Structure 1
Amino acid sequence: MSALFPTYARWNIKPEKGIGSTLIDESGKEFLDFISGIAVCNLGHCHPKVTEAVKNQLDQLWHVSNLFQIKGQEKVAQLLVDHSVGDYVFFCNSGAEANEAAIKLARKSTGKHHIVSMKNSFHGRTLGSMAATGQDKIHQGFGPLLTEFTYIEMNNVNSLKEAVTEDTAAIMVEVIQGEGGIRLMTEDFAQALNVICEQYGCLLIIDEVQTGIGRTGTAFAYEQVGLDPDIITLAKGLGNGFPVGALIGKEVLKEAFNPGSHGSTFGGNPLAMAAAEAVLNEVFTESLLQSVQTKGQWFKAELENSLHSLPVVEEVRGKGLMMGIACNIEVAPIIEACREKGLLVLPAGPKVLRLLPPLVVTDQELKKATEILTDVLTAIDLKQEVKL
């Protein structure tokens, strides 16, 4: 009997150890981990340089109040600013907190409250970030939400033009909708976002919680579609498993986040900053980012070539090492069958398989995953039964 709230539909796997792209359970069974903690362990499990950085910091200092100057914060903030269009950084503990901070910053800096976000988006489960999330199933049971959010279909320029007014504080969007089915933003929609934000003087908030820190083959996904964000939110891959989130904002927003306007007790503590600095020094290199692009292109092509003739598969989509396989049936039994064969994958909505291998995944591991997926998807009949 568990003393935990039943907030998660847990799998019958008890992980004991992780090395790179491999997860090992208590029985010693090895799994090829294409979940990566849901795009968190971008450098794989127990990356030696991140592990060493945190171990060294453990012997120095764990935590002090943000009333003190913390050297690690300055180092990580500068790395984030150097590799983005932002000028200042606020540290917190998670993606939901980063998005909550973004909502507050947008409202306070503009003096307006209306925010446009996308249907099928996901921004977190706090009341503010949940209100920004354009999915009814996330809202159900929690009563009245934070008001003045409008949800539109991503890539629908006409709906965007109709939704934004002079009273709009911000538009909040993911470049690739992760929970929403690995849906990619078009360049036309990105261009329209830039134009409309300029026209109405509203802020552009890019949620890079899942797509950031090299996941799509560039430091941030917004770079690939020509967006010019005012606010960027981060978490997941930033700490490679150590809890840390961040908001990056432009110079014009500095005064809105003055002393006392926002805060986080644990945000940016020395341990989190040690992990984040080690991660960014590894990820924000030309060689690693180029390898993500190369591997992603090969993986997508290999999946398309192997799966295109299967009746259950509709489309392979994604960017870098954030991939989705859209199916015409619900994918829960497919995920279970992959698990039985030693491959861990996720859903992205009821009918999409989500693949999030570590950025350091090997070519051999990508090939093995392709073989398992092909075997499992080939074994499906039209009654949604997987023949193992």
Structure 2
Amino acid sequence: MSLFERFEKSFMPNYGTPPVALARGEGSAVWDVDGKRYLDFIGGIAVSSLGHAHPALVEAVSRQVATLAHTSNLFVHEPEILLAEKLLGLLKDPAKIFLANSGTEANEAAYKLALKYGRREGRRYFVAAENGFHGRTIGALSLTGKKAIRDQFGPFPVEVRFVPYGDAEALREEVTGECVAVFLEPTQGEAGVVPPPDGYFQAVREICDSTGALMVADEIQSAIGRTGHWFAHQADGVVPDILTLAKGLGGGLPIGACVGFGEAGTLFAKGDHGSTFGGNPVSCAAALAVLDNVDLEHVQKVAAQLRTGLEAIEHPLLKGVRGRGLWLAAVLTSDVSAAVQKAAADAGFLLNALQPDAVRLAPPLVVTDSEVQSFVDAFPKILTEATP
């Protein structure tokens, strides 16, 4: 019985059956169970910051698991403190941190933090963006503006009003003194790697300041160097009230973080929130290895090479390229992203059919210039193979 058959026999069908069974990885490459090599341009959905089997990550995790693997939140351990201090140093603005296990849990913490603020201030509703994605647990899902995955699980515990992403005037009309918080991604990931118009996040900050609503930046995908900056909001010149992190922070190990700036960092009282595994020593050791080994100059260089190379391709199926840093979408002229994903896999590249007309590119941040060039050189043929 194949791994695919065993998968179907053992697991719930919510993922379908993935088309490739992976066995191992090294750097930006992975091999399937039949020994075929691929360049990984998905990166575990923007998770594998240091690629696969990075020596620093292997050493940090191995050392920590052999020393102290788990404590719960009943005890203090140094890796969590070192990680918090490192993040605060990179953020530069006064803040406090809650560590969780995933992006959804980081957003749940942000949601609860905002709820506590809103009830104290007599506020009653949230604002989020159409097509935004913040997670699949009920609190995070209530803020997610994708009807296909949201509506069947309602009703939700609080009112959330959705506005078009990037439309500052629509946001201004919806955010009043009764708004608890505005939840937004600095670039919408699952919607198709859609960046906002220039100046949008400065406008969001001004709208929140003028109404007293909290500004929450969901940087689950966009942070930890993915856009060429440690945090995408820094490039926009704003500081949110609450920031959520996960994915690339652990480099492959599960970890999330909710950061509260200024007063938002002190809203929780003892017992208000918690996590048994949040701040796990092994995950914190992995995150420290990631932060110590991400090279932003390298990310910026290979990101520019990837974007320039893709933009130079003239092909009837390629409409354009959008995104930031090593987090791009190749936008297609027809809804054949699944065919592009398959043709790419056949050619030895793993891509993600994110939307019917867009494929996501999120390679490890350690991807080399030669690996980027090999993909750029191969992409026209991949597009031709996928052309209807």
User: What range describes the TM-score normalised by the shorter chain of this pair?
Assistant: over 0.9
Structure 2 counterparts to residues 258-273 of structure 1, below 5 A: 258-273=269-284
1:40 aligns with 2:51: no
Question: Is contact 1:81–1:248 with CA below 8 Å preserved after alignment?
Answer: no
The C-alpha deviation readout for 1:298-349, integer Å capped at 9, x for no partner, is: 211110102xx32222111111100111112221111111111110001222
Match of 1:13 in 2: 20
SS in 1 for 2:15: coil
| 1:175 counterpart (186, 189, 201) | 186
Deviates more, 1:36-45 or 1:370-379: 370-379
| 1:256 counterpart (267, 273, 278) | 267
1:128 aligns with 2:132: no
| 1:107 counterpart (99, 115, 120) | 115
Match of 2:323 in 1: 318
The structural deviation recorded for 1:86 is: 4.7
Match of 1:88 in 2: 96
The structural deviation recorded for 1:351 is: 1.0
Structure 2 counterparts to residues 69-218 of structure 1, below 5 A: 69-84=76-91, 85-111=93-119, 112-218=123-229
The structural deviation recorded for 1:140 is: 3.7
Shift of the 143–202 alpha-carbon distance from structure 1 to 2, 3 Å rule, reads closer
The residue identity in structure 2 corresponding to 1:76 is L
| 1:364 counterpart (362, 370, 376) | 370
The C-alpha deviation readout for 1:32-86, integer Å capped at 9, x for no partner, is: 0001100000110111101101100111111112111121111100111111135
Question: Is contact 2:220–2:244 with CA below 8 Å preserved after alignment?
Answer: yes
Structure 2 counterparts to residues 21-60 of structure 1, below 5 A: 21-60=28-67
The residue identity in structure 1 corresponding to 2:154 is G
Give distance in 2, aligned partners of 1:370 and 1:140.
39
Match of 2:354 in 1: 348
Question: Is contact 2:339–2:386 with CA below 8 Å preserved after alignment?
Answer: no
Give distance in 2, aligned partners of 1:304 and 1:164.
37
Question: Is contact 2:100–2:275 with CA below 8 Å preserved after alignment?
Answer: yes
Give distance in 1, aligned partners of 2:151 and 2:38.
34
The residue identity in structure 1 corresponding to 2:116 is K
The residue identity in structure 1 corresponding to 2:102 is S
Give distance in 2, aligned partners of 1:19 and 1:156.
42
| 1:277 counterpart (285, 288, 291) | 288
SS in 2 for 1:166: coil
1:297 aligns with 2:304: yes
Give distance in 2, aligned partners of 1:345 and 1:297.
19
Backbone CA RMSD of aligned residues: 1.3
Question: Is contact 1:96–1:126 with CA below 8 Å preserved after alignment?
Answer: yes
The residue identity in structure 1 corresponding to 2:107 is N
The structural deviation recorded for 1:380 is: 4.4
The structural deviation recorded for 1:280 is: 1.1
The structural deviation recorded for 1:145 is: 2.1
The structural deviation recorded for 1:6 is: 0.9
The structural deviation recorded for 1:255 is: 3.1
The share of aligned pairs that are identical, in percent, is 40
The C-alpha deviation readout for 1:6-47, integer Å capped at 9, x for no partner, is: 111232321111101001111111000001100000110111
The structural deviation recorded for 1:379 is: 3.7
Give distance in 1, aligned partners of 2:279 and 2:151.
33
The C-alpha deviation readout for 1:67-124, integer Å capped at 9, x for no partner, is: 1112111110011111113511100000000001101101102323411111111110
Question: Is contact 1:86–1:231 with CA below 8 Å preserved after alignment?
Answer: no
Unaligned runs of 5+ in 2: 1-5
Count of equivalent residues: 376
Shift of the 146–352 alpha-carbon distance from structure 1 to 2, 3 Å rule, reads farther
Give distance in 2, aligned partners of 1:170 and 1:4.
37
Give distance in 2, aligned partners of 1:196 and 1:12.
45
The residue identity in structure 1 corresponding to 2:246 is A
The structural deviation recorded for 1:138 is: 1.2
Question: Is contact 1:215–1:359 with CA below 8 Å preserved after alignment?
Answer: yes
Greater than 4 Å deviation, 4+ residue runs = none
Question: Is contact 1:186–1:225 with CA below 8 Å preserved after alignment?
Answer: no
Unaligned runs of 5+ in 1: none
Deviates more, 1:36-45 or 1:58-67: 58-67
Give the TM-score of the pair, scaled to structure 1.
0.94
Match of 1:66 in 2: 73
Give distance in 2, aligned partners of 1:251 and 1:371.
48
SS in 2 for 1:222: helix
